[in-house]
Structure 1
């Protein structure tokens, strides 16, 4: 019998790169040569470690990933590079696990690897994703231990943190410190600051920064910076200046993105100038900027605000025709508009049609339709929607439940108990509903009602104990 050729470390890396299933990749890594009588002799390369750690981290298979990382620590034949730890810290940051990210950062030296500003920046950014601002301060206060020089990325992360906390004074101080230390700001620095000032309504300072980045630092604003300023102007109903800024982009040959036009479309509807929308769409296409889902959603929202549902559905169909898949927001906007106008039958039909369009309704979709049906006293249809909601693990708002239960109590509908027990399992019954049900039991002398009521209390108690 021909002897099976063993997989080499180089071949293992190639196979891991080709394997898309992280579980199979893990088995391949752990047992590259399953028939080898001495498997511990396999010499893993750093590339193999890097590939399997990346696949497990992206799949959030952290328990398995941590075992591989521990193997890497003990494998003294391999000298790890800092990038692998930066990746791990990022995976933990995205999964909102700041303590694990900090632990990995602290342990980097134990892997025979030196920390540099790269891993410091990665840690700061991961803590920022987790909104761990106090921990960011602690890391920054000890930053000299890890890196001799700071770069623009470090300051950009700190400025972003200050802006997210709406502490623009501190953001400005960080910017000044950046200049004092001789670190040159870049487009991201100014974009972050401009976004912070626009978000907090200080458009004067935002435009002052734009002028300064162009004149003092010779940095051209990018599409994202322009989009931020245009959004800020539309927010304060200054559509004329927003259009001028868009024209400046065209004049300076800044590549326009769909976000700019989507914002201007929303602003046109808000300003009562919907007649300008077709021109914006035509110009958008003429400039090679294809409308995306956000653009169409802006159109749909504008038409629904105008109660022009025919045009809203027209935009939805055009979206599909252009190969731009509607998302749940597209449907929720129309369903919400229809329910506000008490067109609940059409809203319910659209809800039922969503799966056929390969778009799954979310909790907002169900809550909107359920409330709309209760609002027009169509409780039979509401019960059907509630059943589907409960099956999918969703619950309505307490105000909707109260209105629904109130009607069923008045009608002495015995199906009420089925819904109540399902809602109690999800701890979704408030005081008002409890009072309604209690009054129903007090009026009804039947032992059946009392038995159901006791069952409801037991279900609620179990639900509460499981959550605590």
Structure 2
């Protein structure tokens, strides 16, 4: 019999690094030797712990990851590094589990590891990424309690939080504060501010800040600075200036261009009826080695559908994407479906909608709503009802405006009164509308006080544990009919 190969701690780390399946990696970590020796347990290295924790975290196998961390905490030969906990915090952030991320940050000292501003910034970034602006403010108030000093990364997150809250003034105050503390702004700092200024049509201020980057702070603009500026110029109708700014980018040999700039310009060229220049843009991209991505193609599809009404060209763009091994996404199809519906070609829109799964792209809630609205606008209310049934089956909700449009269309003929009732009951069973939507819809479409129907509807609503909704719905019916 062939003798089993002995695995050293170093060899285990190598095997863990090479293993792509997290389940197998965990088995290997648990049982590194084929014949364990109870009197001489295998001593895993800190590197092995780091590798398996990261693999489990990326795979969102959090229970297993926590077990490994618990074992690691019992190790006396080494202490965990703060960088590992930063990664764990990020894993929880990507899974939108901010409470678990906070617990990880709080227990770092229990691993004989000193917390620094680095792990604080990781938690701050996760908190902001989960949309908890108040949590971000609360953490900043606790900075002194942790004995930590903010750095540029801290301020970058805080400035971004102010921008997301719609407070540009607060962002500027933080910018001034970091400078007063001797903390040099980074290109990320300027990128956040420039994007906010452009989004609020403050282009002159954005360009002045771009100039200050170079002259006052000696920070060189990158693509993330230029892109919002070009988008802002295109939005304000200054397309020629946007093209000039693109040339400025090209003249800088150290600046890495990306497809975002070109996608913005392509969409703008379609809007101002300069489609002929798009070919030149695509050729330039090819010449400098930038491959069109899904955003670039979607910009072209949007131009063909919304501006040119050239659906043959839009479908050809889809085919070109497949040829170039760039998979169309749901936005690609939704854009064409919306264009077809607006052009009154609901049959073609329905056909493309049904064909999406075969094209390896499943319709999302937006796809359903676009087709539903298109069918209602075309007077195809029974077909719209079928789309509604599919939406309810998938757990998608429909707003009051669209539901009212369907019901009013069905009510346009007396023969559809039964279909109206069945539609109401179906939506009630699926809990397919919120309370306010129910009040709006029912108050507008019910024309006679039919208590039996109210009772049936209330029963359906009770089945979904929304009795309060049913009570208010009954009140709306009574008020409407009185």
Residues 1:223 and 2:233 are matched in the alignment: no
> By how many angstroms is 1:258 displaced?
0.8
Task: Report the RMSD for the aligned CA atoms in angstroms.
Answer: 3.1
Structure 2 partner of 1:359: 361
Segment of structure 1 superposing worse, 312-321 or 206-215: 312-321
Segment of structure 1 superposing worse, 409-418 or 230-239: 409-418
User: How far does the alpha carbon of each residue in 1:64-116 deviate from its partner, in whole angstroms, 9 at most, with x for none?
Assistant: 32233223223334411111111111122223322322222121111100111
Structure 1 partner of 2:427: 423
Alignment map for 1:51-450 (pairs within 5 Å): 51-144=51-144, 146=146, 149-253=149-253, 254-306=255-307, 307-406=309-408, 410-412=414-416, 420-429=424-433, 430-431=438-439, 442=450
Alignment map for 1:445-460 (pairs within 5 Å): 457-460=458-461
Q: What is the TM-score of this pair, normalised by structure 1?
A: 0.87
Task: Check the 8 A contact 2:79/2:113 in 1, yes or no.
Answer: yes
**Pair 459,4 (structure 1): closer, same or farther in 2 beyond 3 Å:** farther
SS at match of 2:220: coil
> By how many angstroms is 1:280 displaced?
2.0
Q: Aligned partners of 1:40, 1:339: CA distance in 2, in Å?
A: 72
Segment of structure 1 superposing worse, 274-283 or 389-398: 389-398
**Pair 41,419 (structure 1): closer, same or farther in 2 beyond 3 Å:** farther
Structure 1 partner of 2:478: none
Segment of structure 1 superposing worse, 429-438 or 222-231: 429-438
Task: Check the 8 A contact 2:4/2:34 in 1, yes or no.
Answer: no
Segment of structure 1 superposing worse, 176-185 or 240-249: 176-185
Task: Check the 8 A contact 2:404/2:445 in 1, yes or no.
Answer: no
**Pair 202,415 (structure 1): closer, same or farther in 2 beyond 3 Å:** closer
Task: Check the 8 A contact 1:342/1:376 in 2, yes or no.
Answer: yes
Segment of structure 1 superposing worse, 385-394 or 156-165: 385-394
Q: Aligned partners of 2:86, 2:291: CA distance in 1, in Å?
A: 35
**Pair 27,242 (structure 1): closer, same or farther in 2 beyond 3 Å:** same
Q: Aligned partners of 1:80, 1:467: CA distance in 2, in Å?
A: 52
Task: Check the 8 A contact 2:85/2:104 in 1, yes or no.
Answer: yes
Where do 5+ consecutive residues of structure 1 fail to align?
444-449
Structure 2 partner of 1:446: none
Q: Aligned partners of 2:424, 2:4: CA distance in 1, in Å?
A: 64
Number of residue pairs the alignment of both structures matches: 461
Q: Aligned partners of 1:32, 1:252: CA distance in 2, in Å?
A: 53
**Pair 39,325 (structure 1): closer, same or farther in 2 beyond 3 Å:** farther
> By how many angstroms is 1:180 displaced?
2.5
Q: Aligned partners of 2:56, 2:323: CA distance in 1, in Å?
A: 38
Task: Check the 8 A contact 1:120/1:146 in 2, yes or no.
Answer: no
Q: What is the TM-score of this pair, normalised by structure 2?
A: 0.85
